[in-house]
Structure 1
Amino acid sequence: MKIKINTYTAIKLMILSVFVFGYTIRVSTIPTFQYVSVLFLLGMCILLKKYFRNIDVKKMFLWMSFLIATFLSDMINNVSMHQWGMYFFMNTMSLLVLIVDNNALSLEKNEIKKLIQTYNKFVYLIFIIYLVDLLTGSLIMRTLADNWLTCIANWVPRGKSLFTSRYASYLGHYLFTDVIYVGYYILNAFYKHSFFDEIETPIIMHIVAVIGVISTGSKTGLLILSVLLIVFNIKKIKHMIALIAGAFALYFAGFFNILLGRLSTEEFSTGRSGAWQTLFDMKVLKFNLFYGIGDGFFEYIQRFVDFGTAGIATEYPILCLLFKVGVIGFIAYIALMLLIPGYELLKKKNLYGAVCIGAYFFLIATFNGLTVYPDTQIVYIIVVIMIELISKVAKKKYTLNE
């Protein structure tokens, strides 16, 4: 079968890499290569081949700076090549997608719509499984965990736990499932805002996104989604009234029980801020310009704090990265992932797109997905590319005060 060398095929392969051959599936089928997302890499290669002449030199320099920082940090700290290679596939290689000049990327509106519809179909599958499991005591997820996806077993409730337990998906952890739902809302809401055209009816889009995020029990996810709901509906009085009424209905139905329970027993950061404060008070972490502690960061901090505190600390991956690779590598990473995409959208006066990217980055930076799940960064990159494509194809400038 001949694979078409075009943008649509490349991005579709990236989307399928998450939902069809995602991390939990790779762990359960080819554990040796669990950190290597083959479909994503294939899509990335297609994209780089097509836009080889449109590689941005400045972005390539930033990628090389990050690559060198990771290698230098691991070499100085005697981290094994195996561990370096694992994080190379998790975090470094996928960043190559972002070195293409986004002004060169092109798709037709109908192609963008089809790609978002592909993403939507898998989100609806996850949501339908959740609804069935609510009524059957997690029958589907228990069956998957017991017979195939054993890595998700610890996250599956073992009894009828209507509105009392956090719900993961076949893709993995609650918080990664939360990232999928928020990405769903961003893609659909931004498309609708940009083209004045609906992929999904507003009521379905809001129900799936809101209930989906609540089901994962993610406090930050609900906060970010709430901000996005306001941003995209602030000028639509009927929508705002419907959202408020819907929130009350969900509250009285018990959907918020999980979140309210967590808020009453935990601080908002679930101990992350306290863990880092402990490390800073002990003065065991230093800022280095050209290199850091390397990918043995967890093992390093475990010399000074207990296993649990060390584990909680890694759930602020951006801080981990700063001390793992040093200041220059950290700046290169943040520039590629957040600053440049956000700046380019702001330069085009597309404040909505910039807000979406900023909010989404904040979400993935508040749990350990970037240090544990290679697909977390992949999903983020897919959403960023889609936002950039929508912004370009819509050919219209927007501001929040429009």
Structure 2
Amino acid sequence: MTTPSAADRPGSSGPGTEPLPRYGSGAAQSSGTLGRSGPAWSHRPGRNERPGRDERPGRDERPERNERPERNERPGRNDREDDDTGPVPIVGDRPAPPPRPADDLPASTDQPTSTAMPSPLEVGELATTERPAGGRAGRDLRAAIGVGVGLVAVIVASLFVWRPAFLAVLVTAILVAVVELTRALGAGRFSPPLVPLLLGTLVMEGLAWSRGPTGLVVGFLLTALAVVLWRLGHGPAGYLKDAASGVLVALYVPLLAGFAVLLLVPDDGAVRVLAFIATVIASDVGGYAAGVLFGKHAMAPSISPKKSWEGMAGSVVACMLMATPFVVLWLGGPWWSGLVFGAALAVSSTVGDLGESLIKRDLGIKDMGNLLPGHGGIMDRLDSLLPSAAVAYLLLSLLAPV
């Protein structure tokens, strides 16, 4: 494409062309020429000859913005002369607080102190169950001792005044424990049928008293069958878990308690029951004292943080000291029988305590009930006694037979 010459363009001053009056000044129009070569619009002091936007001192060249010191370069933050703690680390958009000088720390710095919040897991587990091993027990000690002494007085009086009275006390306690455990399982959306469990408890303890071990086993089988059939009337939704939890309650509470009834049946049954209960109490007291004084190594922190191996050793020693006079002197067992009986009941009572703690932790509750001040519910006092009753009956049948 060829560019037209200046002479061919309209409005030029070349030969044979008339000047364009509108583009010239007044002087140029009077003389007939524009007085300039080239197009008139290229010499106007117009938009193209003004200093453009790109020629102006731009935003990046202004000293009042981009030449100001940066936030981290301002004096008074990282360059303070009186700050001997070093530069402040930047966390996100804000600087982290400087570390505290050594002079401001507390006087006792044997262990580092942490201000971090505990994890939800730690909060949930320790708040709903027990404190860590070696810590003080979170209970009203005076109320616990008072209630414990009262229970022991009722047991001893019923045993040595009239043995069937102890049977009535035991059955009442088992019925309350069944109700507490059934309600506690409701927190985990289990609904074991309560009516057949209460009736089955009466049947099991009555047959154990009148028919011995065979009657106890038959009573348990009848109770389990009644639970399964009773639950059929509520439909299929949740049937399996409700029936299974009902059988668990029947096995855990009235069946194991039936072994205490079997201990009561012989003529020396009062001594046998007292030996079993006193040994379990010694396990609780010895474990508590040793755990508070010497407990450092947790036994099962995920189940019961306050249980320690030092407390377990205290339980074993206390049980041996308590069981030996009962088994050797009053029941006629060999000299070593008290040591075996005491050590076995220390293990069974600890297992029973851990088993109930596992159930409570799974259900997210602290106690099975609140009937006994300082202890919780009846079930919270039977947790160590129930498995120990079965172990005591089996061992005494071998070590000190009737």
Is the TM-score greater than 0.5?
no
Q: Over alpha carbons, which structure has the higher Rg?
A: 2
After TM superposition, the score normalised by the length of structure 1 is: 0.25
User: Is the helix fraction higher in 1 or 2?
Assistant: 1
Whose RCO is larger (CA < 8 A, sep 6+)?
A: 1
After TM superposition, the score normalised by the length of structure 2 is: 0.25
